[in-house]
Structure 1
Amino acid sequence: MVSGSEHTPDFADIAVVHWQRERPDLDLRAMGTLARFARLNLVGGRQVDAVFAAHGLDRGEFDVLAGLRRTGVPYELSPSHLAEILLITRAGMTKRIDRLESRGLVTRRAAPEDRRSLLVGLTPEGLAVIDAAVTDHTRNESRLLDALTASEVDALDGMLRRLLAHVGAAGDEGHGEGRAPTV
């Protein structure tokens, strides 16, 4: 493992050196770090998506199944509650539920307390798929962080929490069709 400033220059270092030459008036300290973070998100995201694809899922479908599974028995939530916890629009949630329902992984039923409301729940097949997928997903996530020690992972986690709080993303309630948290 490389520590401190002892490292082989990478794509970000090269870009920063070029910018320093062309624009020495700019503070470029964050540029390399954020470029590496973006590249990690891109490359790591592809590896995460490959695990989901091996289970016949895309990231959004995984998120819906995982959202239902981690709530516990009976593995049911309203579509609006699912949309809220996954930070997506209700229309986006409806599309995901439609796809999962057509594949027999979730069902919709009237809520017992209000028949105008719906509950979305895992089918036995959906439960089996998400349990297998989340097992492989957690193994893959651990593998992605294998280059770091446990204390480095803890330190990175703490720094990311602070950065997210600083930029306001930790409490972002903006709903959109961007990537939802895959947890």
Structure 2
Amino acid sequence: MDRQPLDHVARIQAEWARERPDLDVGPQGVIGRLHRLAALLTEELCLVYRRYGLGEGEFDVLAALRRAGDPFERAPGELAAHTMVTTGAMTKRIDRLERAGLVTRRRSEADARGRVVALTPAGRDLIDRAFAEHMRNERRLVEALTPAEAASLETLLTSWLAHVETPRPPGGP
């Protein structure tokens, strides 16, 4: 019988199974592999961002503004919600993008206390080029799977993510 070599996660599971046979380390196979895959995929995605002088966060901000449609602007709090970062982290990202001439900030016409962040023409051009390359890169990464495997994985991940992202009641597990 031809045995597959153990991958990194399987080696860790085998060590834990030896040291703590009283515990079921089965879930570690899924979580560990997802964690490793996410880190490796992030490295591959960041290669494209760096070619455009962007970090992952800056790419996310520019993409969120571009997805907003004409006039390609959002309030900072709305940007934070669309990129899943804190408003403090968002401020730092916007500062860097503004210094680079990729976004502008102005007072909101609807709320004088509020601010609006907008793509500049240079920012729109940059994110359009970067996003096109980003999609080619993602396609390259997903092509390691058959179309059926990719569709199945997307369905599984969508279901699992919906369950994990469901808000829990206060004080709950």
Q: TM-score, normalised by structure 2?
A: 0.88
Q: Alignment partner of 2:106: what SS? A: strand
The answer as to 2:34 corresponding to 1:31 is: no
Across the aligned residues of Structure 1 and Structure 2, the Cα RMSD in angstroms comes to 1.7
Judged with a 3 Å threshold, the aligned counterparts in structure 2 of structure 1 residues 88 and 41 are, in CA distance, closer, same or farther, namely same
The DSSP-based 3-state class of the residue aligned with 2:114 is strand
2:159, 2:14 → 1: CA distance?
28
Q: Which runs of 5+ in 2 are unaligned?
A: 169-173
Higher relative contact order (CA 8 A, sep 6+): 1
Paired position in structure 2 for 1:101: 98
Counterpart-to-counterpart distance in 1, 2:119 and 2:36: 34
Q: Deviations over 1:94-113 (max 9, x none)?
A: 11111100110001122223
Matched to 2:98, the amino acid is: E
* Cα distance in structure 2, aligned partners of 1:170 and 1:45: 24
2:16 alignment counterpart: 19
1:147-175 Cα offsets, whole Å, 9 max, x none, are 111121111111112222232x2669xxx
Q: How many residues align?
A: 166
Deviation at 1:18? 2.1
SS at match of 1:116: coil
Structure 1: runs of 5 or more not aligned: 1-5, 173-183
1:57 alignment counterpart: 54
Superposition pairs of residues 83-162 of structure 1, within 5 angstroms: 83-162=80-159
Q: What SS does structure 2 have at the residue aligned with 1:119?
A: strand
Which consecutive aligned stretches of 4+ in structure 1 deviate over 6 angstroms post-superposition? none
Q: Which residue of 1 aligns with 2:7?
A: 10
- Output the CA distance in 2 between the equivalents of 1:170 and 1:160: 14
Structure 1 stretch displaced more, 51-60 or 10-19: 10-19
Structure-2 change in CA distance of 1:171 and 1:99 (3 Å): farther
Deviation at 1:7, TM superposition (A): 4.0
Task: Give distance in 2, aligned partners of 1:117 and 1:11.
Answer: 49
Q: Taking every aligned residue pair, what percent have the same amino acid on both sides?
A: 45
Provide the C-alpha distance between the structure 1 equivalents of 2:8 and 2:87, rounded to a whole number of angstroms.
40
